[in-house]
Amino acid sequence: MQMTGARVVCEALIREDVKVIFGIPGGAILPFYDALWHYPQIRHVLMRHEQASAHAAEAYSRVTGEVGVCVATSGPGATNLITGLTAAKMDSTPLVAITGQVARPFIGTEAFQECATSEMAAPLVKKTFLILDPSDIASTIHEAFIVAKSGRPGPVLVDLPKDVQAELVEYEPLLFPEETANNHSQVDDGLIKHAAQIINESERPLIIAGNGVHISNASEELKALAEKGSIPVINTLHGTGSFPRDHHLSMGMLGMHGMYSSNIATCEADVILGIGARFDDRVIGRPGSFGENAKIIKIDIEPEHIQKNVPADLGIISSAKPALEVLIPHIKFKKRNQWFERLSQLSKTHPSTEIPEGDIPNPQYVLSALADLLSEVRDPVVVTGVGQHQMWAAQFIRLQEPRSFVTSGGLGVMGFEVPAAIGAQVGKPNSTVWSIAGDGGFQMTLQELATIAQERLPIKFAIINNQFLGMVRQWQESFYDHHYKAVEIPPIDHVKLCEAYGIPALCVNSKEEVQSALAAATSENGPFLIDFRVSPEENVYPMVPPGASLAETVEDPRVITKRQDFKPSNEGSVSYP
């Protein structure tokens, strides 16, 4: 049958089982939107900024495991997408971005809203396509989805000239194999047996679980491995939720603001097994200092990562799930009492989630209270922006399920927390989604409150409002002699702001109001925002200073001062069966 190129795009999206797209229409993409009118089975979420469209699509993908889709017009629409696509590339999230382009005769003429979208995006995504022949649309869209999902997942951009969308073309549904994404390559049995031998012979092993555990849907295998071998598990920021935080083998996060006990454990371990972790600078500290006493084993889908940042003594190139499935039968149980006693001592004598005293609510108090609330909620999802609130959230909120923590890790995009919450809520409509926001990041994308109101999404917001660009201020305090410059944010009335969007909100100024505000948000069926006015100069601890190793992790001075009178906190510690 004959149909327009734009309708072929819609047919191709349906064949890829796309249920939702996030976007904003514009001149060069209008033929697609006209075609979309005929396909009500594809839900379109109208965002207020193209960057937000990409962030929402990324969060949707992160919580569902499906490929996220975002759409923008040419020129400024496409350029606005770039930050979100770069973030998805760095955090290994499969996206397909569809952009409009000026008609073929006008490409390269500096036409209105023209830019070289494919060339601009090429270094920042896995692959770009500029479709100049409408007969190529169906096969190209399919290839875009395969590329996005294969190997280390990531974003792919498809650029569609306006006249290609409008041109009539003969269309017949193409026959594709059921599954062509190559994430289950043959695992080297010899390497697996060698890894098992090293682990079985070790006295002080550790597992570091990264984002690859989520991507490969390997959380059950990770748990089985840890339990069978009696091996403690540390997670990266993106590995949060890949292993149940309340499990007796869980040690929590490591890295620049990780648990003190987790960081020191990496210095004392004799074997470190990294599963789907990039070992980036925020995880390893000073280059060359990580795991100096350990044999390093890496399981990673990307060959380049085996020797990158922390060279591996043994590298297994594979997605996490198939590698663990083969590894588990070779692992033997070993108690390792001395190792667990040492780790338990570290966590008890060096607590990392102590709540400072004071009359003004501090971020630790607020997030501890929210953590208690979420422990009683079925299938919660936590979304954060970037900065201090992000680190406190990762420290205090003890998530038990995979794909329950969504944050911008690699690129570290401020403003991620509002649009990403939209994607997470659309992806998991029956989940309770909490967006933990900094007051600085929130103001970067708060226009998406309009999307939340229009779509009636029951997202709950907790703004950790310290009236600063908090992490920048902390660095200026710690490393630039308190030279506070361009970091103060005059307070705005978030309650009145939310009134403009028809969203109920509360402002909390005291500890006594925290619980009642959380209860009010929980009881509200729709969106709700709480503006927590917290102590302004609170710092995130533990902290690994720039240029330091994990062995030089700095604790909260208040914890050090009271250590002699310390009573074990409720942060938990690993223990052997």
Catalytic residue among 471, 474, 528, 532: 471
Catalytic residue among 3, 19, 106, 113: 113
Say how far apart CA 561 and CA 541 lie, in whole Å: 14
Do 238 and 253 contact (CB within 8 A), yes or no? no
Active site residue 566: no
Say how far apart CA 442 and CA 389 lie, in whole Å: 11
> Tokens 């396909």 belong to which residue?
39
User: Reading across the β-sheet that carries 233-235, which strands appear in turn?
Assistant: 250-253, 233-235, 205-209, 271-275, 295-300, 314-317
Q: What does R_g of the chain's alpha carbons equal in angstroms?
A: 24
CB neighbour list of residue 62: distance below 8 Å, 6 or more residues apart: 91, 93, 214, 403, 406, 423, 424, 427
| CB under 8 A, 24+ apart: contacts of 562-568 | 563/349, 566/348, 566/349, 566/351, 568/348, 568/351
DSSP state of 240: T
Catalytic residue among 50, 66, 221, 571: 50
Active site residue 112: yes
Catalytic residue among 89, 126, 149, 162: 162
Q: How far is CA 320 from CA 249, 252, 350, 568, in A?
A: 19, 20, 32, 35
3-state secondary structure of 134: helix
- Could you tell me whether strands 460-465 and 433-438 are parallel, antiparallel, or unpaired per DSSP bridges? parallel
Show the 3-state SS of 352-407: CCCCCCCCCCCHHHHHHHHHHHHCCCCCCEEEECCCHHHHHHHHHCCCCCCCCEEC
Choose among 35, 142, 153: nearest CA to 91: 153
| Residue type for position 261 | S
Say how far apart CA 574 and CA 570 lie, in whole Å: 12
**Beta-carbon neighbour count of residue 180 at 10 Å?**
12
Active site residue 113: yes
Say how far apart CA 203 and CA 270 lie, in whole Å: 7
CB neighbour list of residue 220: distance below 8 Å, 6 or more residues apart: none
Backbone CA torsion sign across 510, 515, 518, 523? negative
Do 241 and 403 contact (CB within 8 A), yes or no? yes
Catalytic residues: 50, 112-113, 162, 471
